[in-house]
Amino acid sequence: MIYMRPNNAAADPSALADKLPDPPAGWQRSDATGGITEYRYAGDDGVCAVAKLSIRPDLLGSDAVRVDPKRGCSSGETRYYESIEAAVDGVTTELRRVTELINEESANQSEMISTDNRDSATVAELNEMS
């Protein structure tokens, strides 16, 4: 029989939740029992979030905090932090970076839509053709 040793370095769930930042615009934050905090940027389909970060004490590992990112329905690489402070810095940076990417993607899509509309005939041109 294998016995799991508790990780004495794991962050205190309440202290972790208290120190994590407020969600940026567009994000929702939820705090669940057991010290799990999730940041979610909802998508249009309602099934998978555009982006999600799950932050929790690293109970089974050797670090203080683990952060599990997702993009759409795909999981990213788990990151581990040795302290709450390092995790807060990492989460803040990741939220900012992902928000910038989402905003950049939205701007690019708007540009593509505008460009597509410029290439199409105007109502006056369509009337002249008929």
* Domain count for the chain: 1
Range of the domain at 76: 13-129
Quick check: is 7 in a domain? Answer: no
Quick check: is 6 in a domain? Answer: no
Question: DSSP string covering 61-93, please?
Answer: SSSSEEEEEEETTEE---EEESSHHHHHHHHHH
| CA 89 – CA 115 distance, rounded (Å) | 39
Quick check: is 4 in a domain? Answer: no
What tokens does 128 get? 């002249």
Quick check: is 38 in a domain? Answer: yes
Quick check: is 2 in a domain? Answer: no
Asked if 9 contacts 58 with a C-beta cutoff of 8 angstroms, the reply is: yes
At 28-77, the pLDDT tens digits run 999 988 789 999 998 776 678 889 999 999 988 899 999 999 988 899 99
Quick check: is 8 in a domain? Answer: no
At 107-130, the pLDDT tens digits run 776 554 444 444 443 344 434 443
Quick check: is 108 in a domain? Answer: yes
Quick check: is 109 in a domain? Answer: yes
Torsion, Cα 81 86 92 97, to 10 degrees, reads -60
